[in-house]
Amino acid sequence: MPSLQKVYMNHQQKPLVFDSLILQHKTDIPQQFVWPDNEKPNSEKVKELAVPLVDLGGFISGKSSSAKETANFVGEACKKHGFFLVINHGVNASLIEDAHRYMDLFFALPLVEKQRAQRKVGESCGYASSFTGRFSSKLPWKETLSLQFSSENSSSNMVKDYFENTMGKEFTRLGKVYQEYCNAMSRLSLRIMELLGMSLGINQAYFKELFEHNDSIMRLNYYPRCQQPDLTLGTGPHCDPTSLTILHQDSVGGLEVFIDNEWRSIAPNQNAFVVNIGDTFMALSNGRYRSCLHRAVVNNIIHRKSLAFFLCPKKDKVVRPPDELVDEKNPRIYPDFTWSTFLEFTQKHYRSDMNTLQAFTNWIQQNKHMN
């Protein structure tokens, strides 16, 4: 097991400032953004993946016959590679359009304006540009704005309040759009969780109990145009450490998944959300469903945007597979843990990649000896 990756910058190093307005015109990209040869995107176009398409219409309208059939279809997709598309998802199309439009507005702001929401070291929310100040190499060619979402009633304006408090009253409308978008994502993810529970043959209450009050992350990914797109990556190869990801990408394309030893592209479909299983759900399903390796490539023609909602259980809930999924033939694979501990591991000790959950498991065991 490779030792914990020390890829975090030490605090003496002066962080590079990544101003996309300048960098996107640079013909020679800075060395920190050049990835190793074995991780660079292949210059030839990758083949498209025929992603399983799940129509949620029947299930959402309460047709019980569709529920089981839809659950089985989702289950098959999750056993294969943990990615599927959902259509007729019930999320308002104009809300999605607004969410994309306000991203263009926010990321077009001068850097100094965006830095008013600057992500603090060790925290998971706020504005970050290519993670300068966090990583010292293999910098991702992107800017991100990460928002904390809690489905608890009391804090149901957490996202809206964040924008108002951080960026000012003129961002109230923008904050309301992302608050509404996160609420819609939370509702949709609970419906998908119901299908996942059915497909695994477990009591529906189990996942509902874990995720009904979720502490999730909404991430806005903005990938500026890049003059040397074959040397860098918008988001490096990784499995999402979270439970479930619901992603809406714009029409540019760039999301790729690693299947049968090759990278395959997921074509944009504006009527669909891309859904994938994360590491935490892989642990919850005791390894039945796999968290899949994926990445985002950039291009030299136009910027690209994606909105990723990462469903996470309430921070202090113990992540443990239901008894139905553990027996002599299927012994426990991962230890009990809480999402708050796993999140801290990804923010302070380990840059998420394809081995995050295994590295986290080893880290827990090592720390157990220390306590």
Residues 117-176 that bind ligand AKG (CB under 6 A): none
Q: How many residues bind ligand AKG (CB under 6 A)?
A: 11
- Of the pair 202, 308, the CB lying nearest ligand AKG is at 308
Q: Is 105 helix (H, G, I), strand (E, B) or coil?
A: helix
CA distance 122 to 128: 12
241 binds, among ligand L2PXNNRO, Fe ion, ligand AKG, none (CB under 5 to 8 A by kind): ligand L2PXNNRO
82 to 121, contacts with ligand L2PXNNRO by CB under 6 A?
A: none
Scan residues 277-316 and list those touching ligand AKG (CB under 6 A): 294, 296, 306, 308
Q: Cβ of 206: how many Cβ atoms within 10 Å? A: 19
Q: Taking contact as CB under 6 A, which single stretch among the options 42-50, 267-275, 325-333, 343-351 is the one that binds ligand L2PXNNRO?
A: 343-351
Q: Does 240 bind Fe ion (CB under 5 A)?
A: yes
**Closest distance of CB 252 from ligand AKG, Å:** 10
Minimum CB distance to ligand AKG smaller for 235 or for 243: 235
Closest approach of Cβ 308 to ligand AKG, in Å? 4
55 vs 353, which CB is nearer to ligand AKG?
353
d(CA 363, CA 359): 6
Q: Which of residues 234-273 bind ligand AKG (CB under 6 A)?
A: 235, 240, 247, 249, 255
* Cβ count within 10 A of residue 115: 15
Work out the number of other CB atoms within 10 angstroms of the CB of residue 302: 12
Distances (CA, A) of 272 to 29, 44, 116, 264: 34, 26, 33, 18
The amino acid present at 369, given as its one-letter code, is H
**In this chain, which of 219, 264, 290, 351 binds ligand AKG, going by CB under 6 A?**
219
Q: How far apart are the first and last CA of the chain?
A: 22
Kind and range of the H or E run holding 79: helix 64-80
Rounded (10°) CA dihedral 203, 205, 210, 212? 150
For this structure, is 187 an active site residue?
no
**Alpha carbon separation from 365 to 63, 80, 335 (Å, rounded):** 46, 30, 9
d(CA 56, CA 75): 14
* Least spacing, CB of residue 302 vs ligand L2PXNNRO, in Å: 21
Name the catalytic one among 225, 290, 304, 351. 304
- Residues 295 and 153: their CA atoms lie apart, in Å, by 34
Phi (first) and psi of residue 314, to 5 degrees: -55, 135
Q: Which does 351 bind (CB under 5 to 8 A by kind): Fe ion, ligand AKG, ligand L2PXNNRO, none?
A: ligand L2PXNNRO
Q: How far is CA 50 from CA 72, 184, 300, in A?
A: 18, 26, 26
Interface residues with ligand AKG (CB under 6 A) are 219, 221, 235, 240, 247, 249, 255, 294, 296, 306, 308
* Residues designated as active site: 304
Interface residues with Fe ion (CB under 5 A) are 240
Interface residues with ligand L2PXNNRO (CB under 6 A) are 140, 217, 219, 235-236, 238, 240-242, 310, 343, 346, 351-352
